[in-house]
Amino acid sequence: MAHCIVPEAEALLDREFPVLDKGFVRLVDYLGGDARIVQAARVSYGKGTRSFREDAALIDYLMRHEHTSPFEQVVLTFHIKLPIFVARQWIRHRTARVNEISGRYSVMKDECYMPEPEALAPQSDDNKQGRASIPFDPATAERIRQILSEGSAASYETYRALLDMGLAREIARIALPLSLYTEWYWQIDLHNLFRFLMLRLDPHAQREIREYARVILDIARAVAPAATASFERHILKGVRFSGPEMEELRRRLEVQSNQPSHSGQAAGEPLLNGKELERFEEKLKTGRQL
């Protein structure tokens, strides 16, 4: 395979893109782009004689039919600065290679995440792991920010006091809060990056990790624009339907076209019920996977 240079990606190398109040995402390196995906799929040498339109059509075909291995030929390496509580969610994506700063070797910096007022909201009534869509009033939000600030400052002061007493860094670090920023190098192939983005750009994902995912999506567009466009079209903005949901779709289309039902049930009778029907209606309404 010929070495792939993507000018748009070259322009992004080593640029810090800010995320949250003190974090960033930086593209350190990349291997391949759309051309590498096409080369791998065709097992050809060099660029070949295909047009851009034909290459984009092939990439789209691969994405639609879930032929994932050619996308694994593209690899991106990021330098990311993020709060520890975000990193603990992020690390669950075990298909990446990670090298994180170590509190055993380094004295951690006094840098903690402070949410913006609009990011502070009560616990959601219908989502056990998320916050409500309406934030607290400004006065309450400012009081919460003050409490968080005082708590993180006290934790870091405790950490420094333990270090000053001569306590080993590897044990003193247990006093540090989850809001503390950490840094890591994160390397992942394009197929698994798309999987990460599918999950972490979903509205149900935590707000803070979605902010990082949006920046990474923009970088992916620069590295592999055709592949990313296909991912957005078929995966990010698409939904999957279960077998019963497909039957319900057919039933509704039959009703609209006045065709006799082939489902074995009355034409106007839903095939789903309860929570199944609620999830199905929400998919149709929002266009999101649930």
Q: Which residues are annotated as catalytic?
A: 200
Helix axes 274-286, 243-256, angle to 10 degrees: 70
**Residue whose tokens read 């990193």:** 87
Q: What are phi and psi of 49, to 5 degrees?
A: -115, 10
Nearest to 194 by CA among 255, 237, 130: 237
Judged on CB neighbours under 10 Å (0-12, 13-18, 19+), 60 is middle
Q: State the Cα–Cα distance between residues 49 and 216, nearest whole angstrom.
A: 31
Q: State the Cα–Cα distance between residues 188 and 275, nearest whole angstrom.
A: 36
Q: Write the CB contacts of 68 (distance below 8 Å, at least 6 apart in sequence).
A: 62, 191
Q: State the Cα–Cα distance between residues 254 and 252, nearest whole angstrom.
A: 5
Q: Which two tokens stand for residue 41?
A: 């799929």
Q: State the Cα–Cα distance between residues 3 and 7, nearest whole angstrom.
A: 13
**Residue whose tokens read 């649930």:** 290
